[in-house]
Chains A and B, each alone.
Chain A
Amino acid sequence: MPPTPPPDVPSLWSALAAAGRLFDRVLAGAHARVTLGDLLGGSSLGGRLEALRGRSVLLATGDQLTAALALIELDGVAGRLVLCPPDLPAAQLPFVVATAEVQACVTDRPAPEAGVPGVDVVAGCSPLLAPADAERRGGHPTEWILLTSGTTGQPKMVVHTLASLAGAITSGTPAEPAVWSTFYDIRRYGGLQILLRALLGGGSMVLSSAQESTGDFLMRAGAHGVTHISGTPSHWRRALMSPAARRIAPRYVRLSGEIADQAILDHLRAAYPDARIAHAFASTEAGVAFDVGDGLAGFPASLIGPRGGGMELKVEEGSLRIRSARTAARYLGGPVEGLADRDGFVDTGDMVELRGDRYYFVGRRGGIINVGGLKVHPEEVEAVINGHPRVRMSLVRTRKNPITGALVVADVVLQAAATAANGHAAELEREIIGLCRDALPRHKVPTAIRFVSALPVAATGKLVRHDA
């Protein structure tokens, strides 16, 4: 049974207000900015807050600033908040609306496109605040619904509460105010974690925008004096290819959502020598499990086992499993497989391998390439390729083969300064394959390398993997 929430759950608004200095703390979007103090008497919801009380509300804004404002106002007021990622296919909307029993929609789109079929109450949301119409009193524990891509084509709808989402966050007012930012969209778990860290920890937040280039975003983040910034390893590899990476001087750099290999940790250390660089393990279902701050890939084996506060990690059948108060409660609409096992452990599907006194992530359970019956995790090969000094990033994928079923091949993006032009390509390919031969068994070594100018990164910030 999920733990019963305490009766006086503070709402997001009351918790962020408790951290103080509201007029110094800014939420900066690509087109507008609002201070938290502006929200004392103002509302982004145009006088519709009372109409949303107790309802199941679909948050379907295009812009991240309006989404952040609506979240702040609606936690503790709405019965349920469904966070609609910006790239949710329109065809999946009816499923989401039906499964979450959506009664109202918050949108920043103009009236003709604002409606959602089957939803009568529509509230506009704007960074141009109107006088607040209703008291933002908490006491109503709002369900937060996050969407993750499922395997069946319909999204999985993961149920959290502010308490489970904020479980890993220390609240309070820091001596030096933090300006947080993230490459993630805040409608995804990784981005939402950062927004909550900014709000609950007394900081400000610079929000990214899907319409903005990596370079423009970094310049804007730099102009706001960003001190804490997070993204996936793919986000960071792309950021480091931009000259604007030098426009930020963060004190804290965080990676999550994909395996942080040694190469990207080293590149970030070189780019931001004064920053604390940490890679976090978290997933929408399992919540935040741990941060690793020693600059090394993988995590110490000592993290496995009970760890106080009800948190416990274990490795079973090769995958990392997590039990904690920060895991999601359940799936809405309940797909066949449950979220946690009978003992409360969530299977992350992330496969780990013990080498010495450290565990290393080797890949996803579903992403395995099968070479004549021998298994290959693309990520373990990418980690070796990315260790070549002239490689920026790589994608290892399967090539069908009539003899072994599949072979391993790799697409490689080189560092900005390096080129694979003319005769260099063959030489570089030999070097990279040689590196793999030294580090990996034969069947894991790519049989061909293709040099490409870029690799597709999904809206989730993760490399697009077609094999998985």
Chain B
Amino acid sequence: MSVKLDVLTQFEQVAKEQKRTLAPLSDDLVLLDSGLDSLCLAIIVARLEDALGFDPFAAEDADFPVTLGDFVRLYEDAAHAAP
């Protein structure tokens, strides 16, 4: 769905801006091995909040994602929950 596309686009965009070499994107890619550091991930979360209108990390019970698949699911679940 488009949420996943939005997420992947931001990964590529931010990697380019921050001059990082991005590992090939797959659901089981561990975020820590993606080539992006916390600052990059922080920027991705902020950009997604601007684009999608929500921040799934704001929920107190949000589990921290380990893989790219977890990360995408977090956003997809939040998109379903959103009105």
Contact = CB atoms under 8 A, between A and B. Distances in A.
B58 interface: yes
B21 to A, nearest CB: 15
Contacts of A92: none
A407 B46 contact: yes
B41 A403 contact: yes
Interface residues of B, number: 13
Contacts of A399: 46
B18 interface: yes
Interface centre among A372, A401, A442 (most CB of B within 10 A): A401
B12 interface: no
Interface string A431-447: 00000000000110001
Interface in B26-69: 38-39, 41-43, 45-47, 50, 55, 57-58
A88 interface: no
Given A402-B45, A402-B55, A443 B50 contact: no
B42 A404 contact: yes
B55 A404 contact: no
B26 to A, nearest CB: 21
Interface residues of A, number: 12
Contacts of B41: 403
Contacts of B50: 448
A106 interface: no
A138 to B, nearest CB: 62
Given A448-B46, A448-B50, A403 B55 contact: no
Contacts of B58: 402
Contact of A447 (B38, B43, B55): B43
Contacts, number: 34
Main secondary structure of the interface of A (DSSP, over half): mixed
Interface centre among B38, B39, B45 (most CB of A within 10 A): B39
Interface centre among B18, B41, B43, B50 (most CB of A within 10 A): B43
B46 A447 contact: yes
Given A402-B55, A402-B57, A448-B50, A407 B18 contact: no
Contacts of B47: 447
Interface in A360-414: 371-372, 399, 401-404, 407
Contacts of A403: 38, 41-42, 45, 57
Given A402-B57, A402-B58, A443 B46 contact: no
Contact of A442 (B18, B46, B55): B18
A443 B55 CA distance: 21
A371 B43 CA distance: 11
Contact of A371 (B18, B39, B45): B39
Contacts of B18: 442
A375 to B, nearest CB: 14
Contacts of A371: 39, 42
B38 A404 contact: yes
Interface in B7-36: 18
Contacts of B57: 402-403
A219 to B, nearest CB: 43
Interface centre among A371, A404, A407 (most CB of B within 10 A): A404
A404 B39 CA distance: 7
Interface in A411-468: 442-443, 447-448
Interface of A: 371-372, 399, 401-404, 407, 442-443, 447-448
7 contacts: A372-B38, A401-B46, A402-B42, A402-B45, A402-B55, A447-B42, A447-B47
Which 8 A/B pairs are nearest by Cβ-Cβ distance?
Answer: A402-B57, A403-B42, A404-B42, A401-B42, A447-B43, A403-B41, A403-B38, A372-B38
Given A401-B46, A403-B42, A448-B50, 11 more contacts: A371-B39, A372-B38, A372-B39, A372-B42, A401-B45, A402-B42, A402-B45, A403-B45, A404-B42, A447-B42, A447-B47
